[in-house]
């Protein structure tokens, strides 16, 4: 994965649902295949009401809508890691 050191492990991944040339569901499937049970948080800039449902159905632990605050990010990460409530 780009930007990742060889052998580095992750407890959580945050991915952008809307990237040029790659749809978020494709990226989500790719990450889930490589990372297995590592929680994935999708973020997106559109307010499409279907995105959170689609992301959840395809294995995302949570969805963040841009722009989001630092507090929203921290709460979402905590929830995705199993330590928070929504």
Say what angle helices 24-35 and 50-57 make with each other, to 10 degrees. Answer: 30
Does position 86 have pLDDT exceeding 50, yes or no? no
For the chain, which residues make up each domain, given as ranges?
13-80
**What is the rounded distance in angstroms from the CA atom of residue 62 to the CA atom of residue 3?**
22
* Residue 8 pLDDT: 64
Render pLDDT for 32-62 as a digit per residue (tens, 0 to 9): 888 778 899 989 887 778 888 888 888 889 9
Provide the pLDDT confidence category of residue 80 given band limits of 50, 70 and 90: very high
pTM confidence score: 0.74
CATH fold of 13-80: Rossmann fold (3.40.50)
Neighbouring residues of 7: CB distance < 8 A, sequence distance ≥ 6 = none
Higher pLDDT among residues 48 and 2, named by residue: 48
Render pLDDT for 4-29 as a digit per residue (tens, 0 to 9): 555 567 899 898 887 777 777 888 88
**What is the rounded distance in angstroms from the CA atom of residue 73 to the CA atom of residue 75?**
6
* Residue 77 pLDDT: 95
């Amino acid at each position: 994965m780009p930007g990742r050191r060889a052998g580095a492990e992750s407890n959580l991944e945050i991915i952008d649902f809307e990237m040029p040339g790659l749809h978020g569901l494709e990226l989500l499937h790719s990450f889930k295949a490589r990372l297995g049970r590592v929680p994935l948080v999708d973020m997106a800039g559109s307010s499409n009401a279907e995105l959170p449902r689609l992301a959840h159905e395809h294995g995302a632990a949570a969805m963040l809508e841009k722009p989001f605050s630092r507090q929203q990010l921290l709460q979402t990460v905590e929830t995705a890691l199993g330590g928070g409530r929504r």
